[in-house]
């Protein structure tokens, strides 16, 4: 509505409004009411929200471990990457997995080596290549901290059947793959 004019009726100002002009060609089509979310929609949304909560909790666990051990967050990510890779990686592989430059990776490895969490050695298969390995003391330190979390997760999983655990494993593996794919995109 737009203001059309001011009239004075009996000494009291009165304004009149006129409706906006509508072009017949520009009339909006009637819209259907928004569809209600389905149970699948709600379930999917709940799963995404729970994954976000899980990610936040996992980040918090890593942050507490870093603080307790006087490490940088990236140091913890590096130790985790090494552990998941079977205990060792080439420096270039570690850099790629953490998305760091070679210089930043060298500084990270130097820091971890100084505190005894990693060691470098020459790859016996390719003497030109240097390998970074997590030390047994770092594994022990991480085991002490993360062991109670692993035990808690085992207790949570206990009531689930083998088949249900397999569905959970497959789901989580698919989520990890999707996250890795998203990171590369």
Residue ranges covered by each domain of the chain? 63-151
User: What is the C-alpha separation between 32 and 87, in angstroms, rounded?
Assistant: 58
**107 has a pLDDT exceeding 80:** yes
Record the pTM: 0.71
Average pLDDT over residues 159-163: 98
The answer for residues whose C-beta is within 8 angstroms of residue 146's C-beta and 6 or more apart is: 61, 65
DSSP string, 120-152: EEE-SS-TT-EEEEE-HHHHHHHHHHHHHHHHH
User: What is the C-alpha separation between 94 and 109, in angstroms, rounded?
Assistant: 10
Residue 140: pLDDT band with limits 50, 70, 90: very high
The answer for residues whose C-beta is within 8 angstroms of residue 94's C-beta and 6 or more apart is: 78, 81, 82, 105, 109, 132
Structure tokens at 107: 């500084």
CATH class of 63-151: mainly alpha
Task: Give the model's pLDDT for residue 4.
Answer: 43
CB contact at 8 A, 7 and 15: yes
Task: Give the model's pLDDT for residue 7.
Answer: 45
**Burial of 163: CB neighbours in 10 Å, binned 0-12, 13-18, 19+:** exposed
Task: Give the model's pLDDT for residue 119.
Answer: 97
């Amino acid at each position: 509505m737009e203001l059309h004019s001011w009239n004075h009726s009996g000494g009291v100002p009165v304004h009149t409004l006129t409706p906006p002009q509508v072009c017949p060609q520009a009339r909006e089509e009637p819209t259907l009411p928004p569809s209600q979310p389905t149970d699948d929609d709600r379930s999917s949304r709940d799963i995404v929200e729970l994954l976000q909560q899980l990610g936040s909790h996992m980040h918090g666990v890593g942050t507490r471990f870093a603080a307790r051990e006087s490490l940088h967050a990236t140091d913890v990510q590096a130790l985790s990457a090494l552990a998941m890779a079977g205990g060792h990686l080439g420096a270039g592989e570690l850099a790629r997995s953490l998305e760091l430059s070679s210089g930043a990776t060298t500084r990270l490895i130097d820091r971890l080596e100084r505190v005894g969490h990693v060691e470098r050695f020459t790859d016996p298969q390719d003497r030109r290549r240097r390998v970074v390995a997590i030390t047994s003391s770092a594994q022990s330190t991480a085991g002490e901290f993360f062991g109670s979390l692993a035990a808690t997760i085992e207790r949570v999983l206990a009531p689930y059947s083998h088949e249900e655990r397999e569905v959970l494993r497959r789901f989580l593996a698919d989520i990890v793959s999707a996250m890795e794919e998203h990171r590369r995109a």
